[in-house]
Amino acid sequence: MMTLMLILTVPLFFSTPMISMIALMLSVGKLLLEMKHDMDNFSISANFFWDSFSHVLLTLNLWIITLMILSSIKISNSHYFKTMYLRLLMLLAMILSLAFSVNNYIFFYILFEASLIPTFMLILGWGYQPERLQAGVYMLMYTVLASLPLLISFL
């Protein structure tokens, strides 16, 4: 199923109309919501599996990314780095999908911290002008202060 989701998101990396991207993301979301398993845990590979909690997080991730695309119609109409914005959103969605599907704490930590890179770029690139640099610095500072104890506890 994860492979199907990744295959369906490949057209999002190319310049396509906004409506088709939203329809594609909603169809992937519908596939995720209608996915039924006979067991509680669905193993994709040795390192990736879905349980009911990760299924909810994956669905929430897809829903939030869809809402971000819908709320960015202004960016789409102005063509102000539209493709870069959409690629960052899709990269963020894929990294978070992998983070929510992994069954190792270290891999989860690495992928979740990697999701901060596109988030940081979104804040700096498309945030409100006066506060976006300060928000980026605060995000990095809080991330370092909060994630180091988490990393130490995982090790």
- As a whole number, the mean pLDDT across the chain is 75
- pLDDT tens for 4-42 read 566 556 555 555 566 566 666 666 666 666 665 555 666
Looking at residues 137-152, what average pLDDT do you find?
85
pLDDT of amino acid 14 = 54
pLDDT at position 145 over 80 = yes
- Judged by average pLDDT, the poorest of 44-48, 62-66, 116-120 is 44-48
> 111-120, long-range: CB within 8 Å, 24+ apart, which pairs?
113/143, 113/147, 116/143, 118/88, 118/89, 118/91, 118/92, 119/92
> Residue 78 has what pLDDT?
62
**Predicted local confidence at residue 95, as pLDDT:** 92
- Which of the listed ranges 18-27, 50-59, 91-100, 123-132 does the model predict with the highest average pLDDT? 91-100
Domain positions in the chain: 2-154
Residue 107 has pLDDT above 60, yes or no: yes
Averaged pLDDT for residues 42-60: 74
